[in-house]
Chains A and B, each alone.
Chain A
Amino acid sequence: MNKVLDIPRVNAKNMTDKEFFYGHKACAGCGGSIAVRLALKVLGERTYTALPAGCMSAVGFIFPQMAFNSNAIITTFPGAASMASGIAMGAKALGQKDFKTVVFAGDGGTADIGFQALSGMIDRNDDVLYICYDNEAYMNTGIQKSGLTPYGTQTTTTPAGKNLPGTLTHKKNLFEIIAAHDIAYAATASIGYPQDYLNKVNKAKHTKGASFIHVYASCPTGWGTPTETSVEIAKDAVDCGLIFLAEYEDGEFKLNRNPKEFASIPDYLKKQARFKHLSDQDIEIITEHRDKKWSRMRKHWL
């Protein structure tokens, strides 16, 4: 396993003014586009970007207004990681050295249909950074549930009503599933904590072999939140403990943020139309799930 060397931290002062993702047609307040924009600022212009079907490919490649200022390509829905593997190998065969291959895939494209390819890519330890921007549903096709949609979410395929509280399953434990591959570097992040995210991208950039970042990216359209609160709500999710910031490196888990006290889960949920219907009992289920997870993480990851 390659140890990530000490690398200078990324901050506002040393980050490039160049933009590599602009002029796209994402909705106002799109968290996914923030995740892509920030990551590419760290990765720089020597980047090959592969995107499966999803919001970012839908809004970034509207010919002739190509929103990527570096090499970017749309892959098949299940094949993003495989195509990235091919790109990385092809560039290597051409003798290129100073480049990074990155995937930006949504939660459905990662945890559901794209998972087999991702698993293979990590297993081969291909030199690819895979970033999953998680807005917790298939937003591009009209807000359908994915494997990363949390319990109680109203989506168009998990409607809430008398009989159902929306989605019945909890989020797949994607970060630990990825870590279970013994990947060189994996991390979770949130656009609500951009410094943390940027530096994780930077670490992944300097990792040789496969790396993975699961970044929480709000979606005003799918979540029913005001467009100007996207960053704030992605921060709230972390502060209330439903999203955690962690890393997996050298075979060890590390919890990056371990608050003494969580912010209120109901406050976080009530800001979003997708959770508006939840009963006290549902919120209890969500809270219990969080507490169980945190007690396990605190026991093993600190």
Chain B
Amino acid sequence: MGDVRLMKGNEVIAEAAIRCGCDGYFGYPITPQSEVMETLMARQPWEQTGMVVLQAESEVAAINMVYGGASCGKKIMTSSSSPGISLKQEGITYLAGAELPALVVNVVRAGPGLGTIQPAQSDYFQSVKGGGHGDYKLIVLAPASVQEMNDFVGLGFELAFKYRNPALILSDGAIGQMMEKVELSDYKPRWTDEEIQEISGSWATTGKKSDRERNISTSLDLDSARQEQFNHKLQAKYRAMEENEVRFEKINCDDAEYLFIAYGSSARISQKAVELGREKGIKIGLIRPITLFPYPTKAIQEMLGQVKGILSVEMSAGQMVEDVRLAVNGKVPVEHFGRYGGIIPTPEEVLEALEQKIIGK
């Protein structure tokens, strides 16, 4: 075992950033994720790895700093919580349009509006369907544990650079605030200028030498024909993500007659509900989407021959359930169960919802 600690999810995001060789973090305070920047400031990684940590004057400023840093081929990230992520949407769609890799962390709280600081999963649509304007997609990773808060920082950057596309970690206030055992990643050095040249030299604005064409970071093309061509290219990239990057976890699915589909905190709760159900003799399984885009559509479809009904469990009024229904396409009943406004459901409630909405029907 490596470096094992008991840490808060938000602290782990900060620690993982330093350890994965992140070049810069730009943030702005908002509950319940302020610990990310606070931990970074206390750790002073600029002394150790040279990583820049900067508190911006607003979320808009922070995401545009990300845009600037990402243009240079650096590993750049920001984090915020729901209202702040809403403010960042313009910058996020510009990043997607300019095909820039970057990592955004959303420690979701309940909305809409100012809402409350309690955890929720009501930013699914915003994250997965494109919260900003234009036809774009983010790579969306949904951690269900503090360990995954650690793991997905490195993975997020890896995928972001692989596809030249912003990646989003869609966490929530529960995982951000709770403490769990975590095995931290080993330190990876920050990329050298030579490595950046090698990895991102074809697009990053690293200072043009006489021996290469100019690299331009932009999301602007006023020529509609070229803009359409560019959008074709983006769509092809998103299809490639769907082909190659789907991640999910199947729990007790082999003999399952009923299925929970849940991500993040809800998956943890649903996993317990599976145990409770099985104690009562109900054959329940759980599919936990780890990537929300690309979505594990096929994994759900493969279960349709054996399951009698599916319950989508979310801390929202019913967002991911739409993607479950698209996957299922009417073949078996799909229902939604959610608590929201900052309320976390109990495993008993989840099981009861399955019994009432699916089994009892």
Contact = CB atoms under 8 A, between A and B. Distances in A.
B87 A157 contact: no
B279 interface: no
B149 interface: no
B41 A156 contact: yes
Nearest to B30: A141
B57 interface: yes
Contacts of A142: 29, 31, 34, 38
Interface in B46-62: 47, 55, 57-60
A78 interface: yes
B83 A141 contact: no
A158 B40 CA distance: 10
Interface in B264-291: none
A141 B31 contact: yes
A144 B37 contact: yes
B41 A158 contact: yes
A107 to B, nearest CB: 12
6 A-B pairs with the lowest CB-CB distances in the bound complex, closest first: A113-B58, A112-B57, A144-B29, A141-B29, A156-B38, A157-B41
A77 interface: yes
Interface in A183-210: none
A144 B55 contact: yes
A141 B34 CA distance: 7
A53 interface: yes
Contact of B55 (A57, A140, A145): A145
A159 interface: yes
27 contacts: A53-B114, A74-B114, A77-B58, A77-B83, A77-B87, A78-B58, A78-B87, A112-B57, A113-B57, A113-B59, A141-B29, A141-B30, A142-B29, A142-B31, A144-B29, A144-B38, A156-B34, A156-B38, A156-B41, A157-B29, A157-B37, A157-B38, A157-B41, A158-B41, A159-B41, A159-B42, A163-B44
Interface in A249-296: none
Contacts of A145: 55
Interface in B201-253: none
A74 B113 CA distance: 10
Interface in B25-43: 28-31, 34, 37-38, 41-42
A163 B47 contact: yes
Interface of A: 53, 57, 74, 76-78, 108, 112-113, 115, 138, 140-142, 144-145, 147, 156-159, 161, 163-164
Quick one: which of A74, A138, A158, A164 has the most chain B CB within 10 A? A138
What DSSP secondary structure best describes chain A's contact surface? loop
A113 B30 CA distance: 12
B34 to A, nearest CB: 5
Chain B residues touching A, range: 10 to 19
Nearest to A115: B57
A57 B113 CA distance: 14
Contacts of B60: 78
Contacts of B34: 141-142, 144, 156
B29 A138 contact: yes
Quick one: which of B37, B41, B47, B83 has the most chain A CB within 10 A? B41
Contacts of A164: 44
Contacts of B114: 53, 57, 74, 76
Nearest to B43: A159
B121 to A, nearest CB: 22
Contacts of B41: 156-159
A57 B83 CA distance: 15
Given A115-B57, A142-B31, A157-B29, 5 more contacts: A53-B83, A140-B31, A141-B30, A144-B29, A158-B41
Contacts of B30: 141
Nearest to A78: B58
Contacts of A163: 44, 47
Contacts of A108: 29
A146 to B, nearest CB: 9
Nearest to B27: A157
Nearest to A52: B114
Contacts of B87: 77-78
A204 B28 CA distance: 32
Interface string B69-86: 000000000000001000
Nearest to B54: A157
B103 to A, nearest CB: 20
Given A53-B114, A77-B83, A78-B87, A157 B57 contact: no
A117 to B, nearest CB: 11
Nearest to B55: A157
Quick one: which of A74, A142, A163, A164 has the most chain B CB within 10 A? A142
Nearest to B46: A163
Quick one: which of B29, B60, B87 has the most chain A CB within 10 A? B29
A53 B38 CA distance: 20
B38 A147 contact: no
A81 to B, nearest CB: 14
Contact of B58 (A112, A158, A161): A112
A112 B30 CA distance: 14
Nearest to A172: B57
A57 B116 CA distance: 12
B268 to A, nearest CB: 26
Contacts of A140: 31
A161 B55 CA distance: 18
A27 to B, nearest CB: 16
B108 to A, nearest CB: 16
Contacts of B28: 113
B61 to A, nearest CB: 8
Contacts of B47: 163
A60 to B, nearest CB: 13
A138 B29 CA distance: 8
A140 B34 CA distance: 11
A59 B291 CA distance: 38
A144 B55 CA distance: 9
A159 B30 CA distance: 18
B137 to A, nearest CB: 27
